[in-house]
Structure 1
Amino acid sequence: MKRIYIALLWLAMVTITACNAIGNPIKGNAIIDWVDFVKINHKTYNGLYDAVLADPGVVLRERVVGKVAFRVGDVVTNPEYRTKDGDAAFLEIGTELYEVEGYKDQSLIAAKDEHAIHGYRLYQVEGSSAWTMKFKDLVMERVERIEIYKDNGSNQLLHKVQDGPDIQKFIDILEAGSKTPTYEPKTAQSDPTYYEVVFYIENQVAAYKLWLAYDGNHYYFSSGDTHAVSSEIGQLIPKS
């Protein structure tokens, strides 16, 4: 009899939990670590953290791909929630997504973002190879210029590297960096200073973006692995 009672109690708890999930598909008890995504036209797009729109003029504002209807990052705590068209993790409700020149298949789209360099954030459809650039893929001869921004939320442009020899020197210093996967930034006194280094590539809609940091002792960046960089690079970054 006791076993039957326990079994019935367990079944009741499962039933209540299931009913709650069905009754409220949004609210739960989970803390969800959302990635930057948006779902449009039954396709899921992920934000590109290592790409910057090279020229805002290639955003076709007259060709709206879709619009954000629901921001899940604010309210969804049910791990069983199924994303739907119009959902986005962090984009504001009402944000429009636009087609980008050269991508009629809409594998790459853009959203207005005042915090992003050049005012737009890029998204790529899942499974697409429209953007696969990594630091190791940079071809120096195709890099037209380098821009260095201070990552402080204001997109403060610190410096442009435009001469061929200076571009070569900057890239050489980065390439000479040593892999230090176990490196821990020195943060006892203050947080590291972060820079966004943007490499503009010939005939490319997007530019490659790399985060460079300085913790008061070392410059370092991450592109798969953490690399410690010679302090010589500091001479090419104006102090703000």
Structure 2
Amino acid sequence: MPMKKKWFIFTILILLAGCSEATIEWTDFLEFQGDQYLASPHVEISDPNFIGEPIGEIKKKLKDHVKNAKYTPKNGDAAYLEAGTKLYSVINHSHLVAVRDSNKINGYKIYVKEGYVSDKRILEQIDPPSFKKIEVYEEVEYNQFLFKKLIEKNEELQTLIALLQSNQTNDSVVYREEDPQSKAFTFILYSTSPIAEKHAIYFNGEHYFDKNHHILSKKIEDFLVGTEESESG
């Protein structure tokens, strides 16, 4: 039985001056041909050549336009995408929808059909030999990425993936963007798939760690130095 269409809609009721006013907090989703698709922060299109033909467009942006918390999304609705936004297929991946997004490293945001993505850590499913290259970026500002290094040698790929697969957890580590010592990095792991896995790590001045508070070895610093910096050093 399919899930109800309001799966991705969350509401907070706020009482103002004795009257109830519903403020809707939307999750980033779109409705297309009877299915809901949720934006995935953990993947990138590996190559724009894998983007297929246009398959539709957004008809209505819900944020700031829908005030009824009981609203049921309709075909062509999206939480944050503007009306007229083109939807694209991803070749051989019918469960994915892509939209152009200049803030994404490879130019497209990927939406995944509801119920398709598991909640398991991506890196727990990694088969090192399946990856062809890894790109390393530093997030210098929100959604602004500075390319640091391309890793293609098999030995280096396996070493880096092993470092990223840490199981040492420390829930006390926190990333604070305003701290001048803090840094954020993004690894894009490419295979033969149209979809590249995206993995973020953080540095708080003392520890490197991922979003699940897994502490990483400081040996990972060897992969965070840009090519030009490495050559000049």
User: Shorter-chain-normalised TM-score: which range?
Assistant: 0.7 to 0.9
Instruction: Output one character per residue of 1:77-103: Cα deviation in whole Å (capped at 9) or x when no partner.
Output: 432122111111122221111111113
Is the Cα–Cα contact under 8 Å of residues 123 and 164 in structure 2 kept in the other structure? no
Q: Is the 8 A contact 2:43 2:196 kept in 1?
A: yes
* Preserved contact between residue 174 and residue 204 of structure 2 (Cα < 8 Å): no
Change (3 A) 1:131 1:122: farther
Q: Is the 8 A contact 1:186 1:217 kept in 2?
A: no
- Superposed CA offset, 1:133-179 (max 9, x none): 71110111111111112223233221111111111221122223511
Partner of 2:98: 110
Q: Is 1:100 aligned to 2:86, yes or no?
A: no
1:234 aligns with 2:221: yes
Is contact 2:134–2:157 with CA below 8 Å preserved after alignment?
yes
Look up the SS of the partner of 2:54 in the other structure.
strand
Note if contact 1:41-1:66 (Cα within 8 Å) is conserved in structure 2: no
Residues 28-177 of structure 1: matches in 2 within 5 Å? 29-60=21-52, 63-103=53-93, 106-128=94-116, 134-151=122-139, 152=141, 153-177=143-167
1:106-125 residue CA offsets vs partner (Å, 9 max, x unmatched): 31121111111110111111
Whole-angstrom CA distance in 2 between matches of 1:113 and 1:187 = 23
Partner of 1:81, secondary structure, is coil
CA separation in 1, counterparts of 2:48 and 2:123? Answer: 23
Task: Report which of the two has the higher share of helix.
Answer: 1
> For the residues of structure 1 that align with 2:164 and 2:55, how far apart are their CA atoms?
38
**2-structure distance, mates of 1:31, 1:173:** 43
Q: Would the alpha carbon gap of residues 38 and 228 (structure 1) be closer, same or farther in structure 2, given more than 3 Å must change? A: same
* Cα offset, 1:129, TM superposition: 5.4
Give, as a single letter, the amino acid of the residue that structure 2 aligns with 1:136.
E
**1:185-200 map, 5 Å:** 185=175, 189-190=179-180, 192-200=182-190
Q: 2:169 aligns with which of 166, 169, 179?
A: 179
Tell me how far apart the structure 2 counterparts of residues 98 and 226 of structure 1 sit (CA, whole Å).
35
Cα distance between partner residues in 1 of 2:154 and 2:23: 48
- Report the CA distance shift for 1:131/1:181 in structure 2 as closer, same or farther (over 3 A): closer
Matches of 2:181 and 2:100, distance apart in 1: 29
Q: Give runs of ≥4 in structure 1 deviating > 6 Å.
A: 130-133
Q: Which has the higher strand share?
A: 2
Could you say what secondary structure the match of 1:179 adopts? coil
CA 1:73 to 1:204, structure 2 compared with 1: closer, same or farther past 3 Å? same
Mapped to 1, the partners of 2:117 and 2:177 lie a distance apart of 37
The yes-or-no answer on 1:217 pairing with 2:206 is yes
The percent of aligned pairs where both chains have the same amino acid is 24
Structure 1 counterpart of 2:3: none
Q: SS where residue 123 of structure 1 aligns? A: strand
Partner of 2:14: none
Pick which of 190-199 and 42-51 moved more. 190-199
In structure 2, distance between residues paired with 1:228 and 1:188: 21
Unaligned runs of 5+ in 2: 1-19
Deviation of residue 191 (structure 1)? 7.3
Residue by residue over 1:185-213, the C-alpha shift from the partner in whole angstroms, topping out at 9 and shown as x without a partner, is 46674473211111112x21101101111
Q: Provide the aligned length of Structure 1 versus Structure 2.
A: 206
Which residue identity lines up with residue 166 of structure 2 in the other structure?
A
